[in-house]
Copies of this chain bind each other. A is one copy, B any other.
Amino acid sequence: MKSVTIRHVAEEAGVSLQSVSRVINNGPNVTDALRDRVRAAIDKLGYVPNMAARRMGGSKSYLLIAFNDREPTLEKWRAGRGSDWVAQMLLGAMPRCEADGYHLLLELLDGHQARLHQRVDAIVSSLRPDGVILTPPHSQDAAILDRLDARRVPYARLSAGGGDARGHRIEMDENEAAAVATRHLIGLGHRRIGFLAGSADYAVSGVRLAGFRRAMTEAGLTVAPELVQEGEFSFESGLAAADALLALKDRPTAVIASSDEQALAMLHRAGDAGLAVPDALSLVSFDDTPPVSFSLPALTAIRHPTAAMAERAAALLIEGAAPDGTVHVLPFEFVVRGSTARPG
């Protein structure tokens, strides 16, 4: 079985071995024309640089590691309720990695593991990735950043919130997203709007709630305390919060949920109570994972740019740019579907 080697690529492109090597390793003195020529030859021949050989030749591993929170991820997959968070990360980061001959390895980290930081050490020292993508809550964990800094492993942090300014930070404007959803409902004529807040373990929960409050205040509206239900992002938590809102003497005419599962729970409870959505209750969801667009009615939702964030993270790590304090804020979409209307 004959492998395609760097020699075949050089022949096909009609350039020297050294030129091919410079393109592959993002070396100096590479013109756009040379890069295009070599890449065309690589594509045509289906050449993939031998990772072991490349590692011997330099310090690169051509490997990025994306850490995700272990138990919540496994638990949702087990329950057949996987959000598509991991899928969206793969969608964004895998093609970006492939384009430069990198591979993306997913690893799960247990946030409550006593040896969490040792495990980060161990994985990093074993695999020697060229970069690490951190997701909440690990992207907010200063001790993990310390570990990576000590080993000089570059990292990109998704949705890490404020505070610690280290690494590449990639965010969506969670506050504004909640405000956009709120303004949409106010524009339809809603005044009594409920809010299902997410888990306090995640910085985004507070930021989303703050965006809701800001838009209400800007419109001259007050938020009655009983209209904000604190909870988790889960379906079960959504059921409890929905029960609490629907038991109020003066019920909200619209509800914003901080996660899709919370919104779907609200939809189910509204159904149980005989409240038609959107005629008797408007509903906005947060994240826009698959069940939300398949539900009846399909839900108006804020679409989280998870794929774009992961792509940006991979790009920054592959390019080897030094973090310069910039917070990369990526745009979200607000998708209006059938679950929001004027109050009945």
| A contact set with B: CB distance below 8 Å | 1, 3-4, 44-52, 74, 77-78, 80-82, 84, 86-88, 90-91, 94-95, 98, 103-108, 115, 118-119, 121-123, 125-128, 147, 150-151, 235, 264, 267-268, 271, 288-291, 293-296, 303, 307
Contacts and interface: CB of A to CB of B under 8 A. Distances in A.
A257 to B, nearest CB: 13
A91 B105 contact: no
29 contacts: A1-B151, A4-B122, A45-B118, A46-B121, A46-B122, A47-B122, A48-B119, A48-B123, A49-B126, A50-B125, A80-B84, A80-B288, A80-B289, A80-B290, A80-B293, A81-B290, A81-B293, A82-B84, A84-B87, A86-B90, A103-B105, A105-B105, A106-B106, A235-B294, A290-B291, A291-B291, A294-B294, A294-B295, A296-B296
Nearest to A268: B296
Interface of A is mostly: helix
Given A51-B127, A80-B290, A267-B296, A147 B46 contact: no
A1 B121 contact: yes
Given A77-B90, A84-B84, A115 B48 contact: no
A297 B30 CA distance: 59
A303 B128 CA distance: 39
A106 B125 contact: no
Contact of A91 (B78, B94, B128, B289): B78
Contact of A82 (B49, B87, B98, B121): B87
A303 B80 contact: yes
A47 B275 CA distance: 55
Given A45-B115, A80-B303, A90-B106, 6 more contacts: A1-B150, A47-B122, A49-B126, A51-B127, A77-B84, A86-B90
Nearest to A108: B94
A122 B48 contact: yes
A91 to B, nearest CB: 4
Contacts of A235: 294
Contacts of A295: 291, 294-296
A147 B6 CA distance: 20
Nearest to A148: B1
A121 B296 contact: no
Nearest to A88: B77
Contact of A87 (B45, B86, B147): B86
A319 to B, nearest CB: 22
A188 to B, nearest CB: 23
B126 A48 contact: yes
A264 B126 CA distance: 45
A331 B104 CA distance: 32
A78 B306 CA distance: 11
Given A1-B150, A108-B94, A82 B290 contact: yes
A190 to B, nearest CB: 23
Contacts of A307: 77-78
Contact of A74 (B47, B91, B125): B91
Contacts of A81: 290, 293-294
Nearest to A98: B108
B3 A125 contact: yes
Contact of A94 (B1, B44, B106, B293): B106
